[in-house]
Amino acid sequence: MSNMITMGQLSVIPTMLDEVLSEMTIDLIQILILLMIIDYITRIMSMLINHNAETIRHSQKRAIKNEMAIIAKKLGYLILITLTLLFDCIVFRLSKEGLGIGIAYKSFLAIFSIGYFLGIEGLSIAENLESIGVPIPNFIKKAYTRLKNASNK
């Protein structure tokens, strides 16, 4: 008897995800991806406006490495959200089949994770915009500072 996982066994994963993916979760993931793109664009705008061309040329290798790290970080957000969705699937299945209790909201960990990353991206966009001269309200600056301090712990 082989211990290898077959494709048929893996086909249960999309079915499990269907159980916990609500329209709201999908919408939030799409919004997060859009914010990631906007954040990246505003970051590039900020770099272009705040650094002269000579500085950018001299530090091109470092800049490329830094940008790759940022892209990897954003992909990490999506991987973490996928993990929370899978964990939500497990909790939902265990509660439904194993414990016989119903959970009203099926993707609670994923929603919290997505919300956290939406906040990070939104506030990062605000910081990028502020660096190019767009006025940012104080309540957003305070929220950014709190979120940044909390995420660094």
- Asked whether the beta carbons of 122 and 52 are under 8 A apart, the reply is no
Q: What is the pTM of this model?
A: 0.73
pLDDT of residue 110: 87
- Asked whether the beta carbons of 149 and 131 are under 8 A apart, the reply is no
> How many domains would you assign to the chain?
1
Query: 127 in a domain, yes or no?
Result: yes
Reading the chain (153 residues) residue by residue, the pLDDT tens digits are 455 555 454 455 555 666 667 788 888 999 999 999 999 999 888 888 887 655 556 566 676 778 888 899 999 999 999 999 888 887 777 776 656 666 656 777 888 899 989 988 998 899 899 999 999 888 887 877 777 777 665
Query: 72 in a domain, yes or no?
Result: yes
Q: Report, in this order, helix, strand and coil percent for the chain, each rounded to 5.
A: 80, 0, 20
pLDDT of residue 152: 62
pLDDT of residue 139: 87
For residue 122, the enclosing domain spans 21-151
Query: 142 in a domain, yes or no?
Result: yes
Query: 12 in a domain, yes or no?
Result: no
